[in-house]
Amino acid sequence: MKALSQRRRHPLAAVALLLIGLLFTGGVYALASSTNDAQAQSFSSDQVDEGEKLFIANCATCHGMGAVGSENGPSLVGVGAASVDFQVGTGRMPMQMQGPQAQVKPPQFDDEQTMQMAAYVASLGAGPAIPSEDMLDTSDADPANGGVVFRVNCAMCHNAAAAGGALTRGKYAPALSGSTAKHTYEAMVTGPQNMPVFSDANITPEDKRDVIAFLETIDEQGSPGGADLGSLGPVSEGLFIWVAGLGVIIAFTVWLTARSS
């Protein structure tokens, strides 16, 4: 007991306890993060092999052999299958040319090939998995809550009506009309382009489904009030009224002047 008491009074005891506490906290946080984001997804060895062949033929030029990255493209180790499915499935990858961000275009690979490349990249390191059908089921979702979540987390870039908007240095937040539920979910968990990653700790899976339901509601409703003018709000509406209204006034003035003469 005396020896133990002496160790407690050792000048480095407080430092040792602090280090142990930090290591324990860091380990718990890392475990929780990996459980939350780096989801396991099973692929066959054939899918991985075929995906590697497709990757070498179409992606390695920029992302390097083994997807370790190069001066022309980032490393893909640990990005997960969801990132590949989103980027390739929306046609953003492979890019047509270097630029501020990848452009949406018709996909160059079919669903099977996209899944094979996703399988290969997923085999290189754990990352967000492709969402299952249950995760995308919005039958019981709450669009009203999804609208609140969207306005708090997304509207500053994508516009409150999900019409998109300009960012800095030639970048932009795309319009979300027509985006599939799967690609919307994958975008939230992978953070493509300039978008931040919204893990389950930031936005829960239930809230993600609510956001998808909100976007689907916008697509279904369309623009019941007439022309949406880009859904840019009072700025575009005011400009339209100013230009169109002033044009009508000028035309009416010319008409009156012509009649009086």
**pTM of this structure:** 0.74
Side chain identity, residue 235: V
β-bridge partners, 113: none
- Cα separation, 38 vs 227, in Å, equals 43
Q: What is the pLDDT of residue 252?
A: 86
- Cα separation, 114 vs 199, in Å, equals 23
pLDDT tens-digit readout, 95-144 = 988 888 999 999 999 999 999 999 999 999 989 999 999 999 999 999 99
Q: What is the pLDDT of residue 225?
A: 61
Flag whether pLDDT at 90 surpasses 90. Answer: yes
* Closest to 128 (Cα-Cα) out of 181, 69, 188, 75: 188
- Which band of pLDDT confidence, cut at 50, 70 and 90, is reported for residue 261? low
- Which band of pLDDT confidence, cut at 50, 70 and 90, is reported for residue 32? very low
CATH topology of domain 134-221: Cytochrome Bc1 Complex; Chain D, domain 2 (1.10.760)
Q: What percent of the chain has pLDDT over 70?
A: 79
Q: What is the pLDDT of residue 165?
A: 86
Domain with CATH 1.10.760.10 in the chain: 45-124, 134-221
Q: What is the DSSP letter of 134?
A: G
Flag whether pLDDT at 20 surpasses 70. Answer: yes
pLDDT tens-digit readout, 189-244 = 999 988 999 999 999 999 999 999 999 998 887 666 666 666 566 666 777 778 88
- Cα separation, 60 vs 68, in Å, equals 9
148's tokens? 């609140």
Correct CATH for 45-124 of 3.30.930.10, 1.10.760.10, 3.30.1360.230, 3.40.50.720: 1.10.760.10
Q: What is the pLDDT of residue 10?
A: 58
Q: What is the pLDDT of residue 222?
A: 65
Flag whether pLDDT at 26 surpasses 70. Answer: no
Note whether 210 and 145 are within 8 A (CB).
yes
Find the DSSP H helices in 38-129.
45-58, 60-63, 81-89, 111-124
Flag whether pLDDT at 34 surpasses 60. Answer: no
Flag whether pLDDT at 40 surpasses 70. Answer: no
To the nearest 10°, report the CA torsion of 83, 87, 93, 96: -140
- Please compute the mean of the pLDDT values over residues 182-191 and round it to a whole number: 96
Phi/psi-derived region of residue 127, left when phi > 0, alpha when psi is between -120 and 50, beta in every other case: beta
Residues in the chain: 261
13's tokens? 């005891």
DSSP element (H, E) containing 165: strand 165-166
CA 64, chain centre distance (Å): 24
